[in-house]
Amino acid sequence: MSGPGFKKAGDNLFKIALLPGDGIGPEIVAEAVKVLQAVGKRYGHQMEFEEGLIGGAALDQGGEGLPRETLELCRQSDAVLMGAVGGPKWDHLPGSKRPEAALLGIRKGLGLFANLRPARVFPALTGASSLKREVVDGIDLVVVRELTGGIYFGQPKGREGDRAVDTMAYSIPEIERIARVAFELAMKRQGRVTSVDKANVLETSRLWREVVLRIKDEYPKVRLEHMYVDNCAMQLIRNPRQFDVILTGNMFGDILSDEAAMLTGSLGMLPSASLGEGTLGLYEPVHGSAPDITGKGTANPLATILSAAMLLRYSLDLEDEGAKVEWAVGTVLDQGYRTPDIAEEGCVPVGTKEMGDLIVRAIQS
């Protein structure tokens, strides 16, 4: 990719930072580690893992949601695998002190500007979606969300008397680099980019559209269309198979990626990658810390395992190994094994550790 780079294959020693976080985070990260170890053993790679604190776990131990030591550990690693942060225990804290603030901090600290959120429906799970099978069958799209600009970071922001202000701002370089990520990704997929904005109303979106059109000239083989965000939200429900790569800004991407996620039937199935200019990336499941099921051994580890597959592909340049993990997930689902969140009639119910063991066994087979 232009923008996010890749570690060159041939170096068989990889250092991975683990940030289990809060709630079910430690449970699901443990299963992804088992899978990465199995991949390393099968393909002859040495994986070294080192844990760091983040979120509520870090607050409880040292009073900071993102300790300096954690950030340094991540910078010295080839990739970062994270679980989840937050929970009701810390909900009383002000926004800047809550565990979730660590997410913004680590993205900024590592220079991660591109968030990739794939939404793919495994054939065995087409019945799990709330939409008709014929609508969701064959969905395979990726939302490319700009991660460090837009309304979440624009200045000024705050309150003055009876008014609250948030500012949406984008610069040309910010748009250029995220657009190149989307076009490069499309070149490896079906060759289609849908750029989503609100150019009929917002000046930032007009600039966004101008820059994306110019970057498109660098990728003559990619087909580009523009779509307003409200229409895109509707089209994701009406005809989601029309999309390949959806390119959009921070807030629009936050909303649309969650909508696309639910097409697949469960948040427990959705991975994500946050990438920067180099090969270092942060990989995490889309779902939260799920405090209601923490410690019960029923959490679905597949989103974290699929995030590990993205880690292999994007940060370590191990395409075959990443594809093998995805194949293993599909195989286990085809065999009927299900955690409670994706359970259906006639399935074989399993827990968190059992699901991880099944994926490992498939990789070893």
pLDDT 10s digits, 148-184: 999 988 999 999 999 999 999 999 999 999 999 999 9
Give residue 117's pLDDT. 94
Give residue 23's pLDDT. 97
Q: Which of 60, 230, 292, 334 is catalytic?
A: 230
pLDDT 10s digits, 83-114: 999 999 999 888 788 998 999 899 989 999 99
292 flagged as catalytic: no
pLDDT 10s digits, 34-75: 999 999 999 999 999 999 999 999 999 999 999 999 999 999
Q: Which of 170, 198, 283, 337 is catalytic?
A: 198
Please name which of 246, 227, 226 lies closest in space to residue 182, comparing C-alpha atoms: 246
Give residue 137's pLDDT. 87
Give residue 127's pLDDT. 80
pTM: 0.90
Q: Which of 41, 89, 152, 228 is catalytic?
A: 152
Q: What average pLDDT does the structure give for the chain? A: 93
230 flagged as catalytic: yes
Check residues 265 and 59 and name the one with the higher pLDDT: 59
Q: Which of 197, 244, 254, 341 is catalytic?
A: 254
Instruction: Count the helix, strand and coil residues of the chain and give each as a percent rounded to the nearest 5.
Output: 45, 20, 35
pLDDT 10s digits, 272-297: 999 998 899 999 998 899 999 999 99
Q: How confident is the model at residue 213 (pLDDT cuts 50, 70, 90)?
A: very high
pLDDT(6) > 70? no
Q: How confident is the model at residue 11 (pLDDT cuts 50, 70, 90)?
A: low
Give dist(CA 198, CA 118) in Å, integer.
Answer: 23
Region of 52 (left: φ > 0; alpha: ψ -120 to 50; beta: rest) is beta
Q: Which of 140, 258, 317, 357 is catalytic?
A: 258
Torsions phi, psi for 122 (to 5 deg): -70, 135
Q: How confident is the model at residue 9 (pLDDT cuts 50, 70, 90)?
A: very low
283 flagged as catalytic: no
320 flagged as catalytic: no
Give residue 8's pLDDT. 46
217 flagged as catalytic: no
Peptide bond into 156 cis (omega under 30): yes
Q: In percent, how much of the chain has pLDDT > 70?
A: 97
Return the number of other C-beta atoms located less than 10 Å from residue 353's C-beta: 14
